Amino acid sequence: MHKICSFLSKRSQRAASNITRCLIAGLFVSVTFAVTVTADTQKLSATETLMVNAIDANYANAHALLEQAVNINSGSLNIAGVKQVGEVFMQEFSALGFNTRWEDGALWNRAGHLIAEHGNKGTHFLMIGHLDTVFEKDSPFQKYQRSSETSATGPGIVDMKGGDVIILEALRALESAGILDEITVTVVLIGDEESSGRPLEISRDLLTQAADRADVALAFENGDGNPATAVIARRGYTGWQLDVTGKPAHSSQVFTESVGYGSIYETARILSGFYQQMDAEQFLTFNPGVILGGTTVDYHPDKSRGNSFGKANVVAETTVVSGDLRTISMEQLESAQQRMHAIVQDNLPGTSATIHFTEGYPPLAPTKGNRELLGLYNTISLDLGQGEVKAVDPARAGAADVSFTAGLVEMALDGMGMMGTGAHTVKEAADLPQLQSQAKRAALLMYRLRDRYGDAD
């Protein structure tokens, strides 16, 4: 916990093949037309219109790349598969003139990350995606499948290989208009977002280094799946484990001065105290996910399982509870931890208890810069004829890698990726035209911010 707190504290220091693509190109012509006619061209500059048209023209190729990536299993623990998807995207970034490299993840027991860098002028953008999915090699859900002209299913099609393709499409549009050389871009495609390697201080070090150099962080998760929303705040999470001890004795002696209350009663008091003292606080949640109690307990936190033994006529000696804590800011996290410690220490007679917190994802607070970035994104969406974009309720936004940029960039926005439904389930489905429309939003956002922060360091 000390390491991750030290790591997080620095945030306060800064306010497929081409043939395959050609074969399916004709399938998307009618969809392309349906998407492109919505833009209000009177509100777009000549350069912006050029970028929008470039995205439309590459519609079929983008979807072919998406299908290729989805058809490669890249469950977080499939090291070879994650690397294979990384190689596909590495070739695409290299073709755009990016300097690319693969950072091996052996130190955190995962595949690693793809880094792609370009330029040294203008605003420095950090673009964040991930290569892995929740669907491992033994999952029955393995392949891309078209379900209609405008939708398809597949493992990771929404979360978030679609977002990775959107990153490329936005960059291709900027390159087609001659803008890519006017900005600085660092792309980080994480290889273990769905099952993060530990310690996080190491597995996310490259991401935080990139954020420390960047001005603006753009992340391409699917948010809540609604194109009318984007994410300016995410709650972070921290794990916790409660260990409670009581005096073993015959149950007839429970509550006596010599025996006391036992570990299970004390655990009930503590959990009830958490609820009574912190339940009403906005965006704060604290969930006990596993509890084991009795005379003996054998709990394995790395596997989230264990067993216990006890008898009805014996006062419980040991109880273990494992849970998570979600907060909207570092201040809220620290305050909640302090209150939980105080509740744990006020023990019932004959009992003792300790609580310890484990490393997790930091929160992304809704800063002024994030709100300003959403405002510009909303204006762009309106100019494109795509409608208003509002902020996702942070209570509906789980932890994600963009949170590691908190306090290191001037502004951050997430939920810019592929929209659809059923993420993390075998019904994961993408709204295919959103690949096109989301890429336009991202490209225009970067264009309008290209000289906001001057030349990059």
What b/e sequence results for 90-120 when a residue is b if at least 16 CB atoms lie within 10 Å of its CB, and e otherwise? Answer: bebbeebebebebeebeebebbbbbbbbbbe
Would you state the pLDDT for residue 8? Answer: 40
As a whole number of angstroms, the distance between CA 208 and CA 409 comes to 10
As a whole number of angstroms, the distance between CA 452 and CA 124 comes to 9
Contact 35, 62 (CB under 8 A): no
As a whole number of angstroms, the distance between CA 230 and CA 445 comes to 13
Sheet holding 216-219, edge to edge: 99-104, 112-118, 184-190, 124-130, 216-219, 411-413
Each residue of 347-403: pLDDT tens digit? 999 999 999 999 899 999 999 999 999 999 999 999 999 999 999 999 887 789 999
Residue with tokens 């590691």: 404
Average pLDDT over residues 433-453: 97
Lowest mean pLDDT among 23-27, 174-178, 372-376, 427-431: 23-27
| Angle between the N-to-C axes of helices 433-448 and 162-176, in degrees from 0 to 180, rounded to the nearest 10 | 50
Contact 372, 411 (CB under 8 A): yes
Eight-class DSSP state of 362? P
Average pLDDT, the chain: 91
> Is residue 30 scored above 60 in pLDDT?
no
Nearest to 70 by CA among 391, 401, 429, 368: 429
3-state helix vs strand vs coil in the chain, percent to 5: 40, 25, 35
Given CATH 3.20.170.30, say whether it is the number of domain 236-361.
Answer: no
Contact 114, 87 (CB under 8 A): no
As a whole number of angstroms, the distance between CA 210 and CA 124 comes to 10
> Is residue 2 scored above 80 in pLDDT?
no
- In the chain, where the domains are located: 2-234+364-448, 236-361
Q: What tokens does 368 get?
A: 């002024």
pTM greater than the 0.75 cutoff: yes
Q: What tokens does 297 get?
A: 């307990």
As a whole number of angstroms, the distance between CA 439 and CA 416 comes to 8
Contact 440, 254 (CB under 8 A): no
Each residue of 50-81: pLDDT tens digit? 999 999 999 999 999 999 999 999 999 999 99
As a whole number of angstroms, the distance between CA 349 and CA 448 comes to 64
Eight-class DSSP state of 149? T
Residue with tokens 């930091």: 362
Taking the mean position of all CA atoms in its chain, how far away is CA 249? Answer: 48
Contact 359, 4 (CB under 8 A): yes
CA angle in degrees (0–180, nearest 5) for 205-441-166? 55
Each residue of 271-319: pLDDT tens digit? 999 999 999 999 999 999 999 999 999 999 988 899 999 999 999 999 9
Tally of helices (H runs) and strands (E runs) in the chain: 13, 18
The answer for residues whose C-beta is within 8 angstroms of residue 54's C-beta and 6 or more apart is 172, 173, 176, 177
Domains 2-234+364-448 and 236-361 share a fold: no
CA-based torsion, 404, 409, 411, 417: positive or negative: negative
Average pLDDT over residues 89-100: 98
What b/e sequence results for 367-390 when a residue is b if at least 16 CB atoms lie within 10 Å of its CB, and e otherwise? Answer: bebbeebbebbbbbbebbbbeebe
Residue type, 64: A
Would you state the pLDDT for residue 399? Answer: 84
Given CATH 3.40.630.10, say whether it is the number of domain 2-234+364-448.
Answer: yes
As a whole number of angstroms, the distance between CA 33 and CA 293 comes to 62
As a whole number of angstroms, the distance between CA 21 and CA 64 comes to 5
> Is residue 218 scored above 60 in pLDDT?
yes
Contact 232, 113 (CB under 8 A): no
As a whole number of angstroms, the distance between CA 284 and CA 77 comes to 31
First to last CA, the chain: 32
